[in-house]
């Protein structure tokens, strides 16, 4: 192992969690070898991708996949994405069909996940798909992730956070979420996109299951009009009460709040440069110039930072529902949804799976 590693133990006092720096574009061979050996042996490693950090395990190992669900506190019926390093590997796991192939040709490698019919003899543990007949597949852009998959085989990689909580876009955030639950975190710096992949179901008419960096318009430009699941994709905010809670900080969220309506005791997640009553100590500016890609990159870190100030409510600027702004609004709506009664007390605690109401809304 290289000398630039940092050794820390996680906050739960369980297993020791090491953080090892890795060059995402050109990782050292010994890092790749060590990580692949852990994964092939059924262990877990948190690895950066271009979207968010993933909690990775060998997709064909029942034991490893079960360990992922346990480490996250994730309900076992919420299926995982299988990450592959090439189109051939993808085709051995799911039938992409003409729609899937067209989208793969345009957007892979990149922040797009395709839900396809699972091949009967796919080398994927049943726990990955919750025993279902479909499988979610992604070919990530990150060279580091693809090198590791080349060496270790297909990997499941849910976002590296406790179930229901804010996703991690830095090694330090993974440590906060999963320290003591995972032996190794690769530190590849801040995630360049900052929100999870766009998920499109191609088993039938193309259907958007989760907005992401690749906008619905860009997907529709390749496969035609999309059926949307849920109604968070466009238009005015609906009642968050219709959504299940996810991506949630400890503080409550108040959405679409103009600067002049922010209260002095609130935190403020701001788009633009206007001043508010929150003051600078409790303000995180996602983008001074209202650049939505920049806002997406800072979204989860901003929520974590404001949580760290101890505020009980975070007010959020209006975010335009265009491009990656659609994904930002989707995550904020879910983060603002009513929490299960036990959520604030169980998040980060040593508990078993959280209530079903706390799962991600894109699951089958």
Give contact residues for ligand TXA (rule: CB under 6 A): 49, 51-52, 54, 78-81, 111, 113, 115, 129, 132, 134-136, 138, 157-159, 196-197, 199, 209-210, 360, 362-364
CA–chain centroid gap for 193, Å, is: 11
d(CA 114, CA 91): 11
159 or 170, CB closer to Mg ion? 159
124 or 311, CB closer to ligand TXA? 124
| Smallest distance, Mg ion to C-beta of residue 167, A | 6
313 touches 253 (CB < 8 A): yes
- Asked if residue 191 binds Mg ion (CB under 5 A), the reply is no
Among Mg ion, ligand TXA, none, the one that 197 touches (CB under a kind-dependent 5 to 8 A) is: ligand TXA
User: Which has the closest alpha carbon to 319: 232, 245, 262, 255?
Assistant: 255
Residue nearest to Mg ion (CB): 159
d(CA 313, CA 278): 11
Q: Please select the residue that binds Mg ion; options are 51, 113, 159, 362, rule is CB under 5 A.
A: 159
Q: Where are any strands of DSSP class E within 85-221?
A: 94-95, 112-118, 134-138, 155-156, 184-187, 198-201, 207-210
113 or 276, CB closer to ligand TXA? 113
| Smallest distance, ligand TXA to C-beta of residue 270, A | 25
194 or 283, CB closer to Mg ion? 194
- Which segment (151-159, 186-194, 315-323, 324-332) binds Mg ion by CB under 5 A? 151-159
Six-digit token pair at 40? 């092939």
109: preceding bond cis by omega (within 30 degrees): yes
- Which segment (80-88, 152-160, 309-317, 318-326) binds Mg ion by CB under 5 A? 152-160
Report DSSP letters for 192-237, one per residue. Answer: SS-SPPEEEE-SSS-EEEE--SS-HHHHHHHH-S-EESSS-SSSS-
> What is the CA angle 122-123-126, rounded to 5?
85
3-state SS of the chain: helix, strand, coil percent to 5? 30, 20, 50
Among Mg ion, ligand TXA, none, the one that 283 touches (CB under a kind-dependent 5 to 8 A) is: none
* Pairing, β 313-316 against β 252-254: parallel
- Which segment (135-143, 158-166, 181-189, 284-292) binds Mg ion by CB under 5 A? 158-166
- Which segment (119-127, 155-163, 235-243, 275-283) binds Mg ion by CB under 5 A? 155-163
| Smallest distance, ligand TXA to C-beta of residue 285, A | 24
60 or 159, CB closer to Mg ion? 159
d(CA 139, CA 336): 30
Q: Is 249 exposed, middle or buried (0-12, 13-18, 19+ CB in 10 A)?
A: buried
| Smallest distance, Mg ion to C-beta of residue 79, A | 12
Among ligand TXA, Mg ion, none, the one that 86 touches (CB under a kind-dependent 5 to 8 A) is: none
159 or 198, CB closer to Mg ion? 159
Residues of this chain that interact with Mg ion (CB under 5 A) are 159
């Amino acid at each position: 192992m290289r000398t630039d590693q940092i050794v820390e133990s996680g906050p739960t006092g369980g297993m020791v969690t090491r953080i090892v720096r890795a060059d995402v574009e050109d990782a050292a061979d010994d890092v790749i070898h060590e990580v692949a050996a852990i994964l092939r042996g059924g262990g877990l490693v948190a690895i950066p991708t271009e979207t968010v950090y993933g909690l990775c395990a060998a997709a064909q190992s029942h034991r490893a996949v079960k360990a992922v669900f346990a480490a996250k506190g994730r309900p076992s019926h919420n299926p995982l994405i299988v990450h592959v390093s090439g189109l051939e590997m993808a085709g051995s796991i799911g039938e992409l069909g003409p729609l899937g192939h067209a989208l793969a040709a345009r957007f892979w490698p990149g922040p797009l996940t395709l839900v396809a019919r699972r091949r009967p003899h796919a080398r994927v543990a049943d726990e990955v798909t919750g025993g279902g007949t479909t499988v979610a597949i992604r070919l990530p852009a990150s060279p580091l992730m693809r090198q590791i998959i080349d060496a270790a085989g297909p990997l499941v990689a849910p976002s590296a956070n406790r179930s229901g909580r804010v996703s991690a876009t830095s090694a330090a955030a993974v440590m906060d979420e999963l320290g003591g639950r995972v032996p190794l975190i690769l530190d590849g710096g801040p995630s360049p996109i900052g929100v999870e992949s766009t998920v499109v179901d191609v088993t039938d008419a193309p259907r958007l299951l989760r907005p992401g960096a690749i906008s619905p318009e860009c997907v529709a430009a390749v496969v035609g009009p999309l059926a949307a699941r849920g109604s968070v994709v466009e238009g005015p905010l609906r009642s968050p009460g219709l959504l299940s809670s996810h991506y949630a900080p400890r503080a409550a969220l108040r959405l679409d709040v103009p600067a002049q309506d922010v209260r002095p005791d609130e935190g403020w997640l701001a788009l633009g440069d206007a001043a508010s009553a929150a003051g600078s100590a409790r303000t995180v500016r996602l983008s001074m110039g209202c650049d939505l890609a920049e806002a997406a990159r800072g979204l989860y870190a901003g929520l974590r930072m404001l949580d760290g100030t101890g505020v009980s409510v975070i007010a959020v600027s209006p975010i335009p529902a265009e491009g990656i702004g659609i994904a930002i609004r989707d995550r904020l709506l879910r983060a603002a949804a009513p929490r299960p009664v036990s959520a604030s007390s169980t998040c980060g605690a040593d508990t078993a799976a959280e209530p079903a109401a706390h799962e991600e809304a894109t699951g089958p």
